[in-house]
Every structure is written in structure tokens, then in C-alpha cells.
Structure 1
Amino acid sequence: MDSTVLDLPAPAATRLRRPGWRDPRLLTGLVLIAVSVALGSWVVTAAQRTVAVYVAAQTLTPGDAVTPAELAVAEVRLAGAADGYLLADEPLPADAVVLRVVGAGELVPVAALGAAADLDVRAVAVPLEGAPPRGMVQGAAVDLWWTPAADLAATDAPPAPEQLAAALTVAEISSADGAFAAGGTRTVHVLVPVDDLPAVLAALGGDGTVDVVPVPGTGG
């Protein structure tokens, strides 16, 4: 037996040293943990933060002035989108009007406001015979149709109705005395685009009947 193998020195065992507090790896890990905890806390806090914004106290239609009487304040979570809405802690825009329909209880978008000169519609009063059809409420969309007066002496078929304008916004529905009573003669005020005014006014002043037809699904 070769005794030279037994005479070889035994290899020294390598001992693992516990990292000290000055070890760069330990310090880097602690920093990463601290950053993660701080970031998570910030995200949770931001998600729970509320902002005071204005909401429409009632349905607002194009041309309505933006005043405290038409608005209410609500605390909501907007998650960084607060700049897109009317904030309650800032002054209301001077002489601003609504440019599109804002439903009751809806947050008031800044983009829905503008100057009266920006409006391209005009309110036109259309008389109604009887009670308004179902779905005809403030803020709803309606079509206007005109049926020419029939010539009693003519033997031809009665004249066909013609559409005057489509998807007009109802600004108001009132009775003869201005109240929202259940009975009596009523008038619906619709917002007519300037380009359609000549045809609508001519029909209202001519011989025939102008009917207001609600657009389904727009009456709330």
C-alpha cells in the first residue's frame, strides 16, 4: 500500500461568514425593502384619497349658466383624473354655460363648459297637443316632423310627413302658465341647430302640424 497518499495534508474547510451590517448586499436589500414598503403605502393612500368636485344638481342642457344653484358638491375618488372635472375648491368659470347635456348627479366635465358664443343651437318653442309622449323629459333627444295641411278638395293621397330635424335636445317642458303641471296646454322647448332654424320656423308658421317624437333610450 502506497503510504504517500496518507501523508497528504487534508484540505481546509471553508467557513461561511455571516454578513455584517456594513455588507453592501445587505444594505442594498434593506433599501429595496424600504422603497417597496413606501411605494405600496403611497399607492394605497392615493387610491383612498377623495376630491371635492361639482356634480349637476339637476339635468343641465346646452345654454344653462353654471352657477352654485345648479350644482352640488360630492367627494369622489378620481385616481389622478381630477383635472378633467370642475373642482369644488376652485372658483367657477366666469360667464360659463353648458355646451352639452349633463345629467342630474353627473360629475361636471370641464370640457362640457364654454362661452355662450360657442353654442350653435337656439331654443325654439313647439306647442304640444295633450300630454307629452313617454320619454320626453328635459335632456332627452327628440325628432321634429312636419305634416302639411291636407287639401280637402284634393282627391290625391294626403301629404306625407317630412322630417325637419333629428336628435334635438329638450331644454324644457312647460305648461301655459310656465309651471310643470300635469294638465293643460304644454310647450316643449327644443334646441335647434342654427342651420335647421329656417325649415323649423317656416313649418311652425305655416299650414300643417309639427310633431315632436322622442328618440328611444334618451329619456333617462
Structure 2
Amino acid sequence: MDTALLDLPAPTAARLRRPGWRDPRLLAGVVLVAAAVALGAWAVRSAQETVPVYATRGVLVPGAAVGSDDLVVVEVRLPDLASAEYVSAARPLPEDAVALRTVGAGELVPADALGSAADVALRPVAVPVRSAPSDDVVPGAVVDVWFTPKPPMSSSGDGKEAKDDKGAFAPRTLAAGVTVAEVNRPDGTFAASGSAVVHVLVPQDALAPLLAALSADGAIDVLPVPGPAGR
């Protein structure tokens, strides 16, 4: 055996040094931990913060005056950007606020759903109907208004209605997709003989045919639009 190999000094194990406060690695770790704690605290605090906004007590229809009695204050958690989309309860309502579009009962009031009366392009019209309207015809519902003209009596004097081959007396739509503002249903002793009146919000370009039909000889029906569009 070669004795030269036996004379080599044994290697010494390097000792691990405890990092000091000035060690860059320790400082970087402290900074990361502090940042994580601060971020977590901010997230928890943000999740617990609420903002006061208005919600409706009942259905709001276009053109209806809106006051504090029509609304209720609710505390909700909303991101900063989303909170600007709703009417804040931290500020008073304008005195002349009106609804510009339909807002369902219990819903948060969107900021663009309120305005002034000058912004409303609809006009309320009271429409008496020949038969009791459907239970789906309620404030805020979307309906179609139909008119059925009454054919004139035949010239023979037999008391029969004249036939119309051209369909001039066929039912026709007066207003499609209009919103119901109010419904007056007869009750009590007048339920059998009285007729219901449905107040609908009509665009100005549809006013003329509807008003003409109201003064004409015939019958008017208000039919609810089925599906989500009618809510």
C-alpha cells in the first residue's frame, strides 16, 4: 500500500453559519412575509366593507316619481367600480327624480334608472279592456295592446253584421311591448259589471292609433308578453 496516501490531511467539514440580521436573504424573507400579511389583512378588510345603496320597495315603472318612501337602504359588498353603477344612499335623492325604466321590487336601483321627467319619452294612457286582464298583467309587466273593430250592420236591415272580405275589421296590434304602469280591477259589487282599466306607457309615435281606437267602436284587449321579456 502506498503510504503517501495515508499522510494526506483529513478534510474538515464546513460549519453552517447562522445568518445575521444583515444577511440579504434574511431581509428579503422578512419583507416577503410582511407583504403577505399586509395583503391578507387588506383582502379581509375589503371583503368586510359595505356601501349603502338604494333598493326598491315595489316595482318602479317609467315616469313614476321616486322618493325616499319608495326605496330602502341596504348595505352591500360591491367593488369600487360596481358601486358606481347603483344609486348611492350616502347622498340625498334629487327632488324631481323619476324612473326612466322598469326596476323590479327588491332590486338595487341602477344609476341610469333615475332621471328627470324631461328624460321620459313615454306617455301614460288609460285603456279600458272588454274582459278581465290576465293575472300576469301587473305593474311593470310588458304587454301588447290589440283592437278589434266592430263591423257595421248590414244594409239589409236584418240586424246582422256586415261581412268584410278585406279584413278591415280583423284584430290588429295598436302597441307592442309596452309597460304596464297601473291596473284598476273592479271588485266587490262592481266586479261583474265593471270593466278593468290598464294604464300603459306608450311611445309618442304609437299614441295616435291608440287614442283613435279608444274613441272608435270596438273592443280593446291587453295581452301579456310571455317569457322573460314580459317581466
Partner of 1:41: 41
Asked whether the equivalents of residues 67 and 95 of structure 2 are also in contact (C-alpha less than 8 Å), the reply is: no
Q: CA RMSD in A?
A: 2.3
Residue type of the partner of 2:61? T
Partner of 2:199: 189
How far the C-alpha of 1:22 sits from its partner, in A, is 2.4
Partner of 2:159: none
Partner of 1:162: 172
How far the C-alpha of 1:175 sits from its partner, in A, is 5.1
Residue type of the partner of 1:144? V
SS at match of 2:25: helix
SS at match of 1:6: helix
Partner of 2:112: 111
Q: 1:116 to 1:146 in 2, by over 3 A?
A: same
Moved more, 38-47 or 190-199: 38-47
Moved more, 96-105 or 41-50: 41-50
What are the residue-to-residue correspondences of 1:48-197 with 2, within 5 Å?
Answer: 48-80=48-80, 81-153=82-154, 154-156=162-164, 159-174=169-184, 183=191, 184-197=194-207
How far the C-alpha of 1:213 sits from its partner, in A, is 0.7
Asked whether the equivalents of residues 47 and 79 of structure 1 are also in contact (C-alpha less than 8 Å), the reply is: no
How far the C-alpha of 1:190 sits from its partner, in A, is 0.2
How far the C-alpha of 1:174 sits from its partner, in A, is 2.2
Asked whether the equivalents of residues 138 and 171 of structure 1 are also in contact (C-alpha less than 8 Å), the reply is: yes
Q: Distance in 2 between matches of 1:16 and 1:51?
A: 55
Moved more, 205-214 or 102-111: 205-214
Residue type of the partner of 1:38? A
Moved more, 48-57 or 135-144: 48-57
Taking structure 1 as the reference length, what is the TM-score of the superposition? Answer: 0.89
Q: 1:204 to 1:46 in 2, by over 3 A?
A: same
- Please say if 1:20 is aligned against 2:20: yes
Q: 1:4 to 1:96 in 2, by over 3 A?
A: same
Partner of 2:157: none
How far the C-alpha of 1:94 sits from its partner, in A, is 4.1
Which consecutive residues of structure 2, in runs of 5 or more, have no partner in the other structure?
Answer: 155-161
Q: Which contiguous aligned blocks of 4+ residues in structure 1 show a shift greater than 6 angstroms?
A: 179-182
Residue type of the partner of 1:41? A
Q: Distance in 2 between matches of 1:57 and 1:127?
A: 28
Asked whether the equivalents of residues 141 and 167 of structure 1 are also in contact (C-alpha less than 8 Å), the reply is: yes
Q: Distance in 2 between matches of 1:192 and 1:182?
A: 28
How far the C-alpha of 1:83 sits from its partner, in A, is 1.4
Asked whether the equivalents of residues 101 and 113 of structure 2 are also in contact (C-alpha less than 8 Å), the reply is: yes
Residue type of the partner of 2:27? L
Q: What is the percent sequence identity of the aligned residues? A: 56
How far the C-alpha of 1:186 sits from its partner, in A, is 2.5
> Which string of whole-angstrom CA distances, capped at 9 and with x for unpartnered residues, describes residues 113-170 of structure 1?
1222221111011012343312010010110111111133123457321111111100
Taking structure 2 as the reference length, what is the TM-score of the superposition? Answer: 0.85
Q: Distance in 2 between matches of 1:216 and 1:123?
A: 22
Q: Distance in 1 between matches of 2:134 and 2:185?
A: 14
Q: 1:130 to 1:210 in 2, by over 3 A?
A: closer
> Which string of whole-angstrom CA distances, capped at 9 and with x for unpartnered residues, describes residues 180-220 of structure 1?
99834331110001111111111112222221111124666
Q: 1:182 to 1:26 in 2, by over 3 A?
A: farther
Asked whether the equivalents of residues 174 and 180 of structure 1 are also in contact (C-alpha less than 8 Å), the reply is: no
